[in-house]
Structure 1
Amino acid sequence: MKILIIGASKGIGLATTTAALAAGYEVRAFARSAADMTLSDPRLEKMPGDATHQQDVEAALADVDAVIATLGVGLGDLIKPVHLFSDATRVIVAAMTEKSVKRLVCVTGFGAGDSRASIGVLQRVPFQIVFGRAYDDKTRQEDLIKQSGLDWTIARPGVLLNGPKSSHYKVLRDPASWRNGIISRASVADFLVKQIEDRTYLHAAPVLVN
């Protein structure tokens, strides 16, 4: 199978690219800075492009079996309105529908969508001040995915850390169990790659924590 990873050059995207290659998949790594990636593998194709440009995304979808979307914004982007997640998702959903690619796995975060109600009382105000603009857009992103008609899974990790994959990270599907917590990017990547063929969390948006 060939997997398209959108936002592949940094953070969770880079960790997911590494994990997908280790799992034996062919990977097309799509990002504006894809050409600068130092990762090298015979099964890795680096494709520079912009996830908000329909033509770029349609070209990246050629001969692809599944898509993992791992878009992110920098800290400096948090102080102004954020539209990247929803803008790119509109393009991705339309292009996947056009190209008949059904499987979409996407990272948002704890605090997006209906998981925001599970943020602790003392955390709500600082969360909104620092991350509110980005997570408002992640919520819009989730809504677009849920309305897409695609075979989707949304992953909502807690606070991201570097470090190795944990063999004990938790996938919290029941809203009553949702909570914030830390988790490594490698653990999130492990979950994302497993969803390529596993349908356990089809049309679900679990929270991921250690």
Structure 2
Amino acid sequence: MKIALFGASGRVGQAFLKQAAADEQFDIYALVRSQPTELPLPKDRIVMGNARCREDVKKVMKDAEIVISCLGTDGDDTLSAALTHILDIMLEQHIKRLITIGTAGILDSRYEPGKYRFETNESKRKLTRAAKEHAKVYEMLKESSLDWTIICPTYLPDGTATGVYRAERDVLPEGGSSITVGDTADFLYRELVTGEYVGYRAGLAY
């Protein structure tokens, strides 16, 4: 099964690759902007390019059955620009499954119905630009016919996977304040295998 991976050189992308690259049921192809040094992929599965460029996105998605995005906001509109290309090409090529990494800021507020967490004092972040960019992607996915999942970790320190954490649909687990990069990647791999959160945002925390 071919997977098109975006954001492979980021923290979650690299951690996911370390876990998933050894799984023989998946053939992972990655789009990267610069020559990677330690991605555990054969060179013929690494496509050089930019996720803002539709032709580069299309190249890595050719014949893919699943798309995974670990892209960040990059300080601008790179995330929504890339997802616009990805969604268009998924429709063209009849690809249904998309898993993407978001942020806990776009989960539903527990205490103020109808608001995202980043719009309330539940979120400790003062700046909301990145959350608004992730929310834009969520709104795009809600309007699509795709089988999507957005994985929404809260504060994301470096750290390896323990496999022990909490996940909840559309809200952050009560009292959750952090989850490591390793465990976020572990949940991504689990969701790839199980599809338990299709059509939901998955809030992640310890």
- For the aligned pair, the TM-score class normalised by the smaller chain equals 0.7 to 0.9
Q: Distance in 2 between matches of 1:16 and 1:176?
A: 22
Q: Which residue of 2 aligns with 1:88?
A: 82
Residues 78-117 of structure 1 correspond to what in structure 2 (within 5 A)? 82-112=76-106, 114-115=108-109, 117=116
Q: Does the CA-based 8 Å contact 1:113-1:142 persist in structure 2?
A: no
| Residues 1:13 and 1:41: Cα distance change in structure 2 (over 3 Å) | closer
- More displaced, 195-204 or 149-158? 195-204
| Residues 1:102 and 1:161: Cα distance change in structure 2 (over 3 Å) | same
Q: Does 1:181 align with 2:182?
A: no
Q: Distance in 1 between matches of 2:117 and 2:79?
A: 22
| Residues 1:72 and 1:117: Cα distance change in structure 2 (over 3 Å) | closer
| Residues 1:106 and 1:176: Cα distance change in structure 2 (over 3 Å) | closer
Question: How far apart are residue 180 of structure 1 and its match?
Answer: 4.2
Gaps of 5+ in 1: none
Q: Which residue of 1 aligns with 2:112?
A: none
Q: Percent same amino acid among aligned pairs? A: 28
Q: Distance in 2 between matches of 1:201 and 1:56?
A: 29
Question: How far apart are residue 17 of structure 1 and its match?
Answer: 1.7
Q: Distance in 1 between matches of 2:146 and 2:17?
A: 22
Q: Deviations over 1:152-189 (max 9, x none)?
A: 11110011111110221111126384554211111111
Q: Does 1:195 align with 2:196?
A: no
Aligned residues: 200
Q: Distance in 1 between matches of 2:22 and 2:151?
A: 20
Residues 37-48 of structure 1 correspond to what in structure 2 (within 5 A)? 37-42=37-42, 45-48=45-48
Q: Select which of 151, 165, 180 maps to 1:155.
A: 151
Q: Does the CA-based 8 Å contact 1:113-1:138 persist in structure 2?
A: no
Q: Deviations over 1:129-158 (max 9, x none)?
A: 33x011111100111112121111111001
Question: How far apart are residue 207 of structure 1 and its match?
Answer: 0.3
What is the RMSD computed on CA atoms of the aligned residues? 2.4
Question: How far apart are residue 36 of structure 1 and its match?
Answer: 2.1
Relative to the length of structure 1, the TM-score reads 0.84
Report SS of the residue matched to 2:201.
Answer: coil
Q: Does the CA-based 8 Å contact 2:10-2:71 persist in structure 1?
A: no
Q: Does the CA-based 8 Å contact 2:21-2:40 persist in structure 1?
A: no
Question: How far apart are residue 196 of structure 1 and its match?
Answer: 2.2
More helix as a share of residues? 1
Q: Which residue of 2 aligns with 1:13?
A: 13
Q: Distance in 2 between matches of 1:113 and 1:84?
A: 21
